[in-house]
Structure 1
Amino acid sequence: MSQLAQPGAGTENVADLRPALTLLTGFSPKATRATADLLMRADPTLFVVTHDLTDLLTGGRVHRIVEDGSGVVEDEHLTLDHGCLSCTLREDVIPTLVRLARANPGRDLVLVLPPALEPESVASVCSWSHVDGEPVAEVLRLDSVVAVCDPQIVPASLDSADDLADRALHAADDDSRSVADVVARQIEYADTVVLWAPDDDPDFEHARLSVLLQRLNPWARHLVVDLAEPAWVSSRLRRTGGFDPEGPDLYGRGLEGYAVGCHEPEADCGVVATVFKSRRPLHPERFHAALPTLTGQTLRGRGHLWLASQPDQAVAWESSGGGVSMGELGPWLAATPDADWAESSPERRVNADLHWDTDFGDRDVQLAFVGLHFDPDELTQVLNACLLTDTELAAGREAWREYQDPFAGCFESKDQQ
């Protein structure tokens, strides 16, 4: 990313002249579209790009519209060889943004994402892909990711047990993502979170959603839109430089020394947030038996954990809508040869050094939970009961590997014997 040079002798301010790209994400097409219109009112030169994917899976067809303050600039129907979301990104979304940026270097862009397209996917493709042999990042810069949250959509979606397929929103035939997962990720990945309620008087439900959004993403800027002030809204959503391409992965935050969530155990409008930490591993069977309690009491969970039965593998944790997703985060540094430490980020190495345990190295458990009206002390007791006892801990890792493990084979463990 181009930056302003630090002031000093012989230095000059270097302006980043690449067009700025703002991603608008959210599960309410009405709210994201209205936000885009508001930004276009503030700057008629702004390109707003949208993709209708209604016919993507059935016929591989995509409807792309590009607009600015003067009206529709492009209105194209195209058929892709492979009807999937990733192909749409690679074959049309990113090339369209690059083409517009090259032809109009002085004009910024807004990409309005359909509900099923998560902003992290777009950011990832922007970071590594090339168009006509040139890196995307050299043509335009991803400036900000804005999550637009509709009070009529978000609370119910976070508590929904539906999959995207249940609402005909899935991106591929094998897309098993849940509505709650996608909505949570949209909010958590954003650098700016907008509470969209322009036609409603503020009430308790709005206040509760505001608190919930801040607990889900305590690192973002949080705003409430005002339709009467498009210039004010634009100044806070565009060219903020809020997106950090070097920021920590959401589920690896704790490994790199960042907080995995906020600890706000006192209910605010009924919203409770708690963080659980331990330097002991979790017993796989007891932890598996506790899953219904953990997911049933909370709306969202995230972080990483240490399973006794797989002591060399850091495990990512994600829960929402009553479901759980776990995946590998690679080996603990304590289980990594010294020669391979350089493959980990400097932040992770420093964090490991600062918190190194004589017996277990950097292994630990860090889980954050957010929900409504749950008892954080009770949740902590449930998790504490899942940890190894002193006797189990003293038995050592070879004994732990022999535990019955309901999670065996659920994710790769490179060093597990």
Structure 2
Amino acid sequence: MTELVVLCGTERDGTERAIARMRQLDPDVVVLHHDLRDLGRGLVHRRLRDGGRDEHSVLELDHGCVSCTIRADVLPTLAALAGAVPRVVLHLDPCLEPEPVCWALGAVLVDPGRGRAPCPATDLVDLRGVVTVLDPQTWLDDATGDVTLPERGLTTLPDDERTIAQLAVGQVEFADVLVTTRPAGPRPDPTVAVLDRLAPTAPRLDVDDADERVFCTRLAPGARRGVPGGVHEPLLRGAPSLDADAGVRTLVFSQRRPFHPDRLHDAIDTLLDGVVRARGRVWLATRPDAVLWLESAGGGLRIAHAGEWLDGAGPQAWDAAGADRQALAALAWHPRWGDRAQDLVVLCHAADPDEIDAALRGALLTDAEVAAGQDAWSGLPDPFGWAHDEPCSDPEPAHTDPGTGDGREGGS
């Protein structure tokens, strides 16, 4: 079966250097790239490199968007290459995060032709994993800032308000292999410490001396290999160190009582400065059935609806949850709260985790508020809608149709 590697990075020069090294290691590798700089005009510049062939073409899309590009050309091209070539590198535009692309590879049906029924691309190619290219001397500044993609010139879409931090963090966090374009700083180095915790199982290769591992060979057991995670998966994937290093520390916050919505809204300000990444499950007193997903990168944060707790749900919800979530819920079942819990992981590089912990604890219901019961909680002020972004924007009303997905799409 044709092997597929997904390559990403925010810097075009860096990813091109990685492609050059890959082609040195495997001259027969096919490289497929879609340049999205003209996507706002409905144009995508497509490049296909195959040995000595280097083809350029321009695609015109009726609806200029990333999902249109993936459905209209990426998936059909991979289907056509499947079985015809031994290895393909899908070189993503710098504005793309690999996780939603990999989700599309495994979930969106494509017509493989030859009389076969439509199927996901991952039925046709062997997705080996994700490679992320980064400059360790600039990456941490990107990962902790609030510069937007339009300000960096990475997108022309008028409604794309994502930040470089969201891209930088998402690309590293989902990586199976990290490729660095130059050496990191001298130890102790906060960038190295952050990478150790954000992608603990990913080997780090120098771009000019990378070996076959750049094709996601010999990965550690449990490597993600391009499979998107779920809301209820363990938050500390790969067992990263919790010890302090170069000023970098990880806070694990787990509590078994609900948040007061208004006080949580105040407390999340502590997650917007000096924090590389915060992510996890949130339970609000005003919404006893709803799982909320919190995710931040740099100076941006989003909380969105991500499903329902199993407590009080019917047998169909339990069956749909899968064995891993059922086991986790049963193991930590509370006689009053069921599987409801606060579970957050906060990766700090210039913030005090103890101060964040104190702020989050202060946002929990007090003993007196817990004793007042659910009827009293339902009247608490709730500034969160169906989805809420920080810095603050008008929240989406909680009754809005969420559409598809688990509430996490859109990022921080």
In structure 2, what is the equivalent of residue 191 of structure 1?
Answer: 176
In structure 1, what is the equivalent of residue 38 of structure 2?
Answer: 55
Please say which of residues 334-343 and 382-391 is displaced more in the overlay: 334-343
Pairing 1:154-165 to 2, within 5 Å after superposition: 154-165=139-150
Tell me the CA shift for residue 261 of structure 1.
8.5
Q: Does 1:385 align with 2:362?
A: yes
In structure 1, what is the equivalent of residue 229 of structure 2?
Answer: 248
More helix by share: 1
Give the SS at the match of 1:81: coil
Cα contact 1:273–1:370 (8 A) shared by 2:
yes
Amino acid at match of 1:23: V
- Unpaired segments ≥5 residues, structure 2: 388-395, 400-412
| CA distance, structure 2, for counterparts of residue 243 and residue 395 of structure 1 | 44
Pick aligned residue for 2:307 from 324, 330, 334: 330
Amino acid at match of 2:30: F
| CA distance, structure 2, for counterparts of residue 263 and residue 404 of structure 1 | 37
Q: Kindly tell me: are residues 332 and 280 of structure 1, through their superposed partners in 2, closer, same or farther at Cα, counting changes over 3 Å?
A: same
| CA distance, structure 1, for counterparts of residue 49 and residue 162 of structure 2 | 31
Cα contact 1:27–1:183 (8 A) shared by 2:
yes
Tell me the CA shift for residue 296 of structure 1.
1.8
Q: Does 1:75 align with 2:59?
A: no
Amino acid at match of 1:61: L
Deviations 1:125-174, CA, capped at 9 Å, x for gaps: 21122124432223212111111121244212112212222233237432
Q: Does 1:234 align with 2:212?
A: yes
Pairing 1:331-410 to 2, within 5 Å after superposition: 331-410=308-387
Tell me the CA shift for residue 175 of structure 1.
2.2
Q: Kindly tell me: are residues 91 and 306 of structure 1, through their superposed partners in 2, closer, same or farther at Cα, counting changes over 3 Å?
A: same
Q: Does 1:122 align with 2:122?
A: no
Q: Does 1:213 align with 2:161?
A: no
In structure 1, what is the equivalent of residue 393 of structure 2?
Answer: none
| CA distance, structure 2, for counterparts of residue 406 and residue 311 of structure 1 | 16
Cα contact 2:14–2:134 (8 A) shared by 1:
yes
TM-score, scaled relative to structure 1:
0.84
Q: Does 1:295 align with 2:272?
A: yes
Tell me the CA shift for residue 295 of structure 1.
1.5
In structure 2, what is the equivalent of residue 141 of structure 1?
Answer: 126
Deviations 1:95-135, CA, capped at 9 Å, x for gaps: 22222224x24x20111111112211221221122124432
Count of residue correspondences: 382
In structure 2, what is the equivalent of residue 36 of structure 1?
Answer: 19
Tell me the CA shift for residue 73 of structure 1.
3.5
Cα contact 1:191–1:221 (8 A) shared by 2:
yes
- Unpaired segments ≥5 residues, structure 1: 1-17
**RMSD across aligned C-alpha pairs, in angstroms?**
2.4
| CA distance, structure 1, for counterparts of residue 4 and residue 188 of structure 2 | 29
Q: Does 1:65 align with 2:44?
A: no
Cα contact 1:265–1:376 (8 A) shared by 2:
no
Amino acid at match of 1:46: V
Cα contact 2:38–2:156 (8 A) shared by 1:
no
Amino acid at match of 1:97: L
Give the SS at the match of 1:92: helix
Pick aligned residue for 2:294 from 287, 311, 317: 317
Identity %: 34
Deviations 1:220-279, CA, capped at 9 Å, x for gaps: 32313162x44xx22353345744466632xx1xx3455368675543122222211111
In structure 2, what is the equivalent of residue 14 of structure 1?
Answer: none
Tell me the CA shift for residue 206 of structure 1.
8.9
Cα contact 1:195–1:210 (8 A) shared by 2:
no
Give the SS at the match of 1:352: helix
Tell me the CA shift for residue 24 of structure 1.
0.7
Q: Kindly tell me: are residues 257 and 116 of structure 1, through their superposed partners in 2, closer, same or farther at Cα, counting changes over 3 Å?
A: closer
Deviations 1:45-80, CA, capped at 9 Å, x for gaps: 11112222222212x222211224x43342222222
Q: Kindly tell me: are residues 122 and 262 of structure 1, through their superposed partners in 2, closer, same or farther at Cα, counting changes over 3 Å?
A: same
